[in-house]
Structure 1
Amino acid sequence: MAVLSGFVYMIFAACHLNSAISSDASDQKKSETVLISILVRNKAHTLPYFLTYLEKLDYPKDRISLWIRSDHNQDNSIEIVEKWLTEYGHKYHSVHKVLDKQSPPKIEGEQGLAHWPKSRYHHVIPLRESALHTARYMWADYIWVLDCDVFITNSTTLRDLIAKNLPIVAPALRSDGLYSNFWCGMSSEYYYMRTEEYGPILNRKKRGCFTVPMVHSSVLINLRSAASDGLTYDPQALKGYQGPFDDIITFARSANMSGINMTVCNDVIYGYVMVPLERGDLLYYDLLQLKNLKLEVLINGPPLEVDPLLEKYVQEATEPPLQIDKIFMINLKRRPDRRVRMLNSFKELRLDVETMDAVDGR
């Protein structure tokens, strides 16, 4: 009888253990599903960096779908995207791509790389809408609208933004100037307006998450919110809209008219963004700007990385050498952080510099 009792006890103990394991397993939730929307055009010089950091995101790839469109290129953007997708595309839940190699290099009416005639908006707006509709059709939890001249250097960015549980949220991005991916003010005509709040948020004198009238270039949208059904990039689909024919302005107004706040967060350094070219600027100017941005990155961290797969596509702005016989850097040995930053800067600038140890006043 004693043996039987012991046997019964073991059965109950095993059942209890199985129950505990089952309970723990049922508490584990899958990560939210995300569709990342990417439009690529004439960005062969930024794609090696953009795609490197996209792949480095610390988020389950099988919970991410990629939506990529590229057309009207004058460079080898499509070749770079195809090479990257061949290597990494299988890691993602799905890849929805249309890479049009047959489209002409210009959209009708364009007068340069940075010229935005109405025909260009007529081309881009349906693409933005298509990505949004695809995410909704897939029942994705989120859509992340991400421009390919954005470098998300913080690998936890997607996790961090989702954890904030906001309807529309953007990471504040730094540039080599006063430009960023958010506005703090909007004029009565719905265009950008500089305000006193902009500088302290941009420079992280004030840190946290802030309600703003516009975010763009890197925008995470929570599609689980019922109000998100009213979001659109299409001016013709937004009842009562009387603003300019513009995708990001229409989207901002649709959020406002749907009662949704747009939020930008600068609690940590998330990444960097290129300043858009002005009408008439040549691609060479963008290469110079990229060099300046890479120097800006060195202020807060290591140099921008490039996946070895894409190293051959890296482009540099070539400038005439400085007419200087010799350059010296004097540096305190007890400040190796400054020395490393400066050596990285010299490497980026292609400068041959001799380093000398400073006399330590201590």
Structure 2
Amino acid sequence: METVLIAILVRNKGHTLPYFLSYLHKLDYPKDRISLWIRSDHNIDDSIDVLEKWLNAYKHLYHSVHSVLERQGSSLRGEEGVAHWPLSRYRHVIPLRESALHTARYMWADYLWVLDCDVFITNPNTLKELVRKKFPIVAPALRSDGLYSNFWCGMSNEFYYMRTEDYGPILNRKKKGCFSVPMVHSSVLIDLRIKATDNLTYDPQTLRGYSGPVDDIITFARSANMSGINMTVCNDEIYGYVMVPLEKDDPIHYDLIQLRNLKLEILIDGPPPEVDPLLEQFVREAHEPPIPVNKTFMINLRRRPDRRTRMLNSFEELRLEVETIDAVDGRQVLEVIISYCKSRETGLDESEHKLKVLEPIYLF
């Protein structure tokens, strides 16, 4: 089984970490073939507390753990908020990305998986599937509560995002498979056994001929392109979800609303997100006033318990008290009518049989 170094950068993600780490730990991949590389600094929340508790409980299960968790400092020069990315922030992140890349190469890891901690890999087979595909650089297409994802289908002449006609069909899985794209980020698996990946870099100063912005993911994408390496995104399965990034002036508590919206999105395709009991104390909820309605009803067919469960989980997430009403089942009504018609053909007492066959309808 191939060895994998998973590189994780954490900053002010204490609210997503309980879900991120729980899904990470559920991956169906031998943990003794996984090494973890984790860096966290300049937090104003409990990110490091979450990481320390989880690592103390589980780090012995992994092949190795390389972690540096720094508690000092809360902001970088020029930052105007937790979601602001001045030049100083890129210059802080780029060496960290490079360090993860060099560490993976130095320890002879087969793969480096660069994984952001606002990504929820809900499909436990994701890592196995990505390795099996044997692409030099591959990413699982991640869903969000909007049009945002972890890939681009187009890049402008200035190397920034450009919307194309291909993006929507791939994002919405109207077209399924694996597709060559100019950019993948947030969850990127790199096959380090391929010689050309030696030229990959996040540092624009080391990329000869690069004329783009000081940006880690753009530099990485250009280094892949300039090295003749295709970036691939796969949507053949539902692999996971990604948070929509905050805007520059958004406060950190707005990310809790984004998290709630994403949890509702996850409910569309599967069970509600589960948190390791070890991390339940760190779960945070969005503090919003209740939806201003006097009464909420849900009408549901008894033969669709899957829909009922999904909606009840959604209402719980929204903090809505709901009264459930059993719907009249058209299929059952039709069966009753057919049964009644047959009774008339057999000559049974019409009034008695009518009461008997219509009883299920009256119960609704």
TM over 0.5: yes
1:156-167 aligned within 5 A? 156-167=125-136
User: Amino acid of the residue matched to residue 38 of structure 1?
Assistant: I
For 2:220 and 2:318, locate their aligned partners in 1 and report how far apart those are by CA, in whole Å.
39
Return the alpha-carbon distance in structure 1 between the equivalents of residues 179 and 285 of structure 2. Answer: 36
Select 2:13's aligned residue among 43, 50, 53. 43
> Partner of 1:140: helix, strand, or coil?
coil
1:214 corresponding residue in structure 2: 183
RMSD (CA atoms): 0.6
**1:83-125: per-residue Cα shift (whole Å, max 9, x none)?**
00000000000000110112x1001110001110000011000
Q: CA deviation at 1:133?
A: 0.2
- Cα distance between partner residues in 1 of 2:117 and 2:187: 9
Q: Which of 44, 47, 62 pairs up with 1:74? A: 44
Instruction: Map residues 342-357 of structure 1 onto 2, 5 A cutoff.
Output: 342-357=311-326
2:27 is matched with which residue: 57, 67, 84? 57
**SS, match of residue 23 in structure 2:** helix
- C-alpha distance in structure 2 between counterparts of 1:243 and 1:335, whole Å: 53
Q: What's the offset of the Cα at 1:324?
A: 2.4
* TM-aligned CA deviation for residue 321 of structure 1: 2.0
Q: Residue by residue, what CA displacement relative to the aligned partner does 1:33-92 show, whole Å, maximum 9, x if unpaired?
A: 000000000000000000000100000101110000000000010010000000000000
Q: Report what 2:302 is aligned to.
A: 333
What secondary structure is seen at the aligned counterpart in 1 of 2:316? helix
- Correspondence for 1:171: 140
Counterpart residue number, 1:261: 230
Match of 2:124 among 145, 155, 163: 155
Deviation at 1:320, TM superposition (A): 1.2
Q: Percent identity?
A: 78
CA distance in 2, matches of 1:339, 1:118: 49
| 1:247 counterpart residue number | 216
Cα offset, 1:327, TM superposition: 1.2
**Structure 2: distance between partners of 1:172 and 1:100:** 32
TM-score by length of 1: 0.91
Question: C-alpha distance in 1, partners of 2:165/2:306?
Answer: 33
**Structure 1 CA distance for aligned equivalents of residues 195 and 281 of structure 2:** 45
Q: Which residue of the partner structure matches residue 349 of structure 2? A: none
Instruction: Give the distance between the partners of 1:101 and 1:318, measured in 2 at CA.
Output: 26
| Equivalent in 238, 241, 248 of residue 279 of structure 1 | 248
In the TM superposition, what are the counterparts of 1:179-328 in structure 2 within 5 Å?
179-328=148-297
Deviation for aligned residue 1:322: 2.8
Normalising to structure 2: TM-score of the pair? 0.90
Q: Secondary structure at the match of 1:272?
A: strand
- Structure 2 CA distance, aligned partners of 1:340 and 1:322? 21
Displacement after TM superposition at 1:325 (Å):
2.3
Tell me, which stretches of 5 or more residues in structure 1 are unaligned?
1-30
Q: Which residue of 1 aligns with 2:339?
A: none
Counterpart for residue 86 of structure 1: 56
* Equivalence map 1:10-29=2 (5 Å): none
**Which residue does the alignment assign to 1:28?**
none
Partner of 2:336: none
Letter in 2 for 1:73: N
Residue segments in structure 2 that go unaligned for 5+ positions in a row: 332-364
1:144 aligned to which of 106, 113, 124: 113
- Provide Cα deviations, 1:6-45, integer angstroms capped at 9, x if missing partner: xxxxxxxxxxxxxxxxxxxxxxxxx100000000000000
| Residue 193 of structure 1, CA deviation | 0.1
The 3-state SS of whatever aligns with 1:219 is: strand
Is the partner of 1:283 in helix, strand or coil? Answer: coil
Structure-2 separation of matches of 1:101 and 1:320: 33
SS at match of 1:338: helix
Q: Distance in 2 between matches of 1:237 and 1:212?
A: 23
Q: Which residue identity does 1:68 align to in structure 2?
A: I
State the alpha-carbon separation in 2 of the partners of residues 305 and 172 from structure 1: 21
* Segments of 4+ moved more than 4 angstroms: none
Partner of 1:33: 3
SS in 1 for 2:7: strand
Mapped partners of 2:252, 2:115: distance in 1: 21
Alignment of 1:90-109 (within 5 A): 90-102=60-72, 104-109=73-78
Q: Deviations over 1:129-182 (max 9, x none)?
A: 000000000010000000000000000100000000000000000000000000
CA distance in 2, matches of 1:337, 1:258: 49
Q: Partners of 1:169 and 1:134 in 2: how far apart?
A: 20
**Offset at residue 340 of structure 1 (A):** 1.0
Paired residue secondary structure (2:253): helix
